[in-house]
Amino acid sequence: MKEKTKKKFKFTKSKAEVTVMASLGVLFLVVFAYLPMFGLVLAFKDGDNVLNISRAIFRSDWVGFDNFVEFLHDKDFLNVLLNTLGLNLLQLAINFPAPILFALLLNEVRNGKTKRVIQAITYLPHFLSWVIFAGIVFALVNMDTGIINQILLKTGIVKEAVDIKGDPKYFWALIIITSLLKGIGWGSIIYMAALAGVDPTLYEAATMDGANRWHKAVYISIPSIAPTIVLFFILQISSLLNNGTEQILAFQTQSNLDRSEVIDTFVLKYGIRKNMYSYASAVGFFKSVIALILIASSNFVSKKITGQGVIY
Amino acid sequence: MEEKIVPADLPAEEIPAESVPAEPTAEDILTMHAGEKKSKRVHYSRRYGAVDIVILVVLILFSFCCLYPLWNVLVGSFNEGLDYTKGGVYFWPRKWSFDNYALVLNDMRIWRGYLITIGRTLLGTLLHLLLTSLVAYGMSRRELPCPRVFHFINIFTMFFGGGLIPYFLVLKMLGLINTFWVYIIPNMYSVYNMIVIRSFIKGLPEDLHESAVMDGAGEFRIYFRIILPLMKPVLATVALWTIVWHWNSYLDSMYYVTNSDLYSLQYVLMRIINESSTPTGNGVMPLPPDIFERMNPKTVSLAAIIVSTLPVLAVYPFLQKYFAKGVMVGSLKG
Nearest Cα residue in chain B from A23: B135
Overall domain count for chain A: 1
- How does pLDDT run across A171-182, given as a tens digit for each residue? 999 999 999 999
For residue B179, report the phi and psi dihedrals to the nearest 5 degrees: -125, 165
Give the domain range for residue A234.
Answer: 74-261
Residue A198's alpha-carbon distances to A25, A168, B2, B98, in angstroms, are 39, 45, 19, 52
Using the Cβ of B328 and the Cβ atoms of chain A, whether some distance falls under 8 Å is answered with yes
Our CA dihedral for B229, B234, B240, B245, rounded to 10 degrees, sits at: -120
List, by residue range, all CATH 1.10.3720.10 domains of chain B. 108-266+306-331
How high does pLDDT run on average in chain A? Answer: 85
Q: Say which amino acid occupies B173.
A: M
Q: DSSP character for B110?
A: H
pTM, entire model = 0.82
What is the DSSP track for B2-66?
A: -S-SS-TTS-GGGS-GGGS-----HHHHH-HHHHHHHHHHHGGGPPP-HHHHHHHHHHHHHHHHH
Closest-CA distance, B144 to chain A, in angstroms, reads 6
Looking at residue B106, its amino acid is N
How confident is the model over B44-58, as pLDDT tens digits?
445 678 888 899 999
Does A3 fall in a domain?
Answer: no
Q: Shortest CB distance from A271 goes to which of B76, B168, B250? A: B168
Topology of domain B108-266+306-331, per CATH? MetI-like fold (1.10.3720)
A89 found inside a domain? yes
Q: What is the pLDDT of residue B39?
A: 47
Whether residues B135 and A21 touch (CB distance < 8 A) is answered with yes
Contact A265, A252 (CB under 8 A): yes
The separation between the first and the last C-alpha atoms of chain B, rounded to the nearest angstrom, is: 29
Q: Is residue A239 part of a domain?
A: yes
Among A121, A127, A150, the residue with its CB nearest the CB of B244 is A127
With respect to residue A25, please indicate whether it lies within any of the assigned structural domains.
no
Please tell me which of the candidates B35, B55, B277 has its beta carbon nearest to residue A197: B35
What residues contact residue A168 under an 8 Å CB cut-off, 6+ apart?
A255, A256, A257, A258, A259, A260
Residues of B in contact with A290 (CB under 8 A): none
Cβ contacts (< 8 Å) between B220 and chain A: which residues?
Answer: 17, 21
Select from B159, B165, B183, B309 the residue whose CB has the most chain A CBs within 10 Å, as the one to mutate to test that interface.
Answer: B165
Q: How is chain B split among helix, strand and coil, in percent rounded to 5?
A: 70, 0, 30
DSSP conformation letters of B156-219: HHHH----HHHHHHHHHHTT-TTSTHHHHGGGS--HHHHHHHHHHHHTS-HHHHHHHHHTT--H
Nearest to A196 among B36, B88, B218 (CB): B36
Chain A: give the shortest CA distance to residue B124, in Å.
15
Q: What would the pLDDT profile of A113-152 be if each residue is shown by its tens digit?
A: 888 899 889 989 988 999 999 999 999 998 888 888 888 8
Helix axes B108-140, B191-202, angle to 10 degrees: 50
State residue B6's pLDDT score. 37
Using an 8 Å Cβ cutoff, are A191 and A99 in contact?
yes
pLDDT in tens, A38-59: 888 888 888 776 666 667 777 7
How far apart CA A264 and CA A287 sit, in angstroms, is: 9
B297 close to B76: Cβ distance less than 8 angstroms: no
Whether residue B65 and residue A181 make contact (CB cut-off 8 A), yes or no, is: yes
Whether the CB of B175 is below 8 Å from some CB of chain A: the reply is no
Size of interface A-B (CB pairs under 8 A): 320
Q: Are A171 and A247 in contact (CB under 8 A)?
A: no
> Which residues in chain B (115-144) have CB-CB distances under 8 A to chain A?
131-132, 134-135, 137-139, 141, 143-144
- Please choose, from the candidates A105, A266, A279, the residue with its C-alpha nearest in 3D space to the C-alpha of residue A192: A105
Q: So what's the pLDDT on residue A211?
A: 85
Range list of β-strands (E), A62-211: none
Locate the DSSP E strands across chain A: none
The CATH number given to whatever domain includes residue A207 is: 1.10.3720.10
Q: What is the ipTM of this complex?
A: 0.85
Q: CA nearest A31 in B: which residue?
A: B170
Q: Is the CB of A22 less than 8 angstroms away from the CB of B173?
A: no
Q: Which residue of A has its CA nearest to B67?
A: A121
CB of B72 within 8 Å of any CB in chain A? yes
Identify the weakest region by mean pLDDT among A220-224, A308-312, B155-159, B195-199.
A308-312
Whether residue A151 lies inside any domain: the answer is yes
B 254-313 → A contacts, CB under 8 A: 254-255, 266-267, 269-270, 273, 277, 298, 301-302, 305, 308-309, 312
Q: What is the pLDDT along chain B (334 residues), one digit of tens a residue?
A: 333 333 333 333 333 444 444 444 444 334 444 344 444 444 544 567 888 889 999 999 999 999 999 999 999 999 888 888 887 888 898 888 888 898 888 888 899 999 999 999 999 999 999 999 999 999 999 888 889 999 999 988 887 888 888 899 899 889 999 999 999 999 999 998 998 899 889 888 888 888 888 888 889 999 999 899 988 888 888 888 899 899 999 999 999 999 989 999 999 999 888 877 654 444 455 555 666 667 788 888 899 999 999 988 888 887 766 655 555 554 444 3
Q: Which of A53, A118, A136, A298 to mutate to test the interface with B (most CBs of B within 10 A)?
A: A136
